[in-house]
Amino acid sequence: MNNKTAYHVAIVGATGAVGQKIMDVLAARKFPIQSLKLLSSERSAGTKVDFNNKQIVVEKATPDSFKDIDIAFFSAGGTVSEALVPEAIKRGAVVIDNTSAYRMNADVPLVVPEVNANDMKHHQGLISNPNCSTTQMVAALKPIDAAFGLKRVVVSTYQAVSGAGSEAVDELIQQTEAFLKDETIETNILPVKGDERHYPIAFNALPQIDIFEENGYTKEEMKMINETKKIMNRPDLQIAATCVRLPFFTSHAESIYIEIEKEGINVKELWDVLEKADGVMLQDDPETQTYPTPISAANKDHVFVGRVRQDLDCQKGFHLWVVSDNLLKGAALNTVQIAESLIKNKWL
């Protein structure tokens, strides 16, 4: 605990898409910054980046970069986090890590502030930011769990290419242009950069996000399953996921089937709970064709929920359509909100 009113902040992976978004969010929310250090790999070091109308030169990240840093945001991939997060902690920084490197470690809180801020109370210098598709889902499901008890979840995702990085975004644009000109479509990145096979994403749907695990699920699907249980503190929750990459740029959408414990609940009662939930915005009116879409949710902070319907066979079953900007609540915004929550609760 400290009594500072402004902080020495570092961003590792400052030149990446999420790193840039973290800077945007810090500026937009007037995060109390005393100094900002931008760090990257050797390759990007020397790049100049604008922040609040000042130019900052990006430096190569080394262990000693974290001397005198209060808060370090890591968003440069798992390998960098594995190498440098312990060094940052050793030098007294509190790390908020946007990679999957430490998420499932028992002593590392995995946090969506609206859901489980209290898990940070006894942090040991490191808090993990969840996977994008997980964050928006738990933001919508937590208030339902609190009110009615959540028994099971079956989710099918509709995920934007920006979740696979800027090369995937470029690939979608290039393939789309080539398709419209009737030219050959080159496939180099998706579904997984560095994996054996690549498929076109333009005008297609790829039922693979991240590599396959031994059980036939992808790593993305297992992240959704395991991270949801951890964040909601519900190791017993029945949950399954199918993750699909689609040809749009921003926001993940999710078709979610849930079963609750409480008897006799109707859609109106679910709406009431969602309407009052922190960070959630209900957009649900079939009569006026009101529901969220990836485009309508882009560049917005909320987790949007629509298409809430009771199952026609299972009285405790409900269907939801949940959409949120994967780079904001799914990444940069939640990361910064973790830091804000640490400050507000004097847990820094």
CB nearer to a second copy: pick between 104 and 240: 240
Which region, left, alpha or beta, applies to residue 26 given φ > 0 means left and ψ of -120 to 50 means alpha? Answer: alpha
Structure tokens at 251: 């926001």
Catalytic residues: 132, 252
CB of 226 to a second copy, least distance (A): 10
User: What are the distances in angstroms from CA 152 to CA 82, 149, 240, 259?
Assistant: 33, 10, 8, 5
CB of 323 to a second copy, least distance (A): 8
Tell me: does residue 197 bind a second copy (CB under 8 A): yes
Cα atoms in the 13 Å half-sphere on the side-chain side of 131 = 26
Site for a second copy in 299-338 (CB under 8 A): 306-314, 317, 319, 321
- How do 126-128 and 48-51 pair as beta strands? unpaired
| Stretch near a second copy under the rule CB under 8 A, chosen from 6-14, 53-61, 113-121, 171-179 | 171-179
| Stretch near a second copy under the rule CB under 8 A, chosen from 105-113, 139-147, 173-181, 269-277 | 173-181
CB of 176 to a second copy, least distance (A): 6
Query: Which one, of 219, 175, 231, 176, lies nearest residue 195 by Cα?
Result: 219
Task: Provide DSSP, 6-69.
Answer: SEEEEEETTTSHHHHHHHHHHHHTT--EEEEEEEE-TTTTT-EEEETTEEEE-EE--GGGGTT-
CB of 135 to a second copy, least distance (A): 18
User: What are the distances in angstroms from CA 54 to CA 27, 35, 36, 337?
Assistant: 12, 12, 11, 24
Tell me: does residue 187 bind a second copy (CB under 8 A): no
Whether a cis peptide bond, with omega within 30° of 0, leads into 191 is: yes
| Stretch near a second copy under the rule CB under 8 A, chosen from 14-22, 68-76, 98-106, 291-299 | 291-299
Residue of 6, 28, 146, 267 that binds a second copy (CB under 8 A) = 267
Tell me: does residue 238 bind a second copy (CB under 8 A): yes
Query: Which residues of the shown chain bind a second copy in the complex (CB under 8 A)?
Result: 152, 154, 156, 158, 173, 176-177, 180, 191, 195-197, 199-200, 203-208, 212, 215-217, 225, 238-240, 242, 244, 246-249, 253, 255, 257, 267, 286-289, 291, 293-296, 306-314, 317, 319, 321
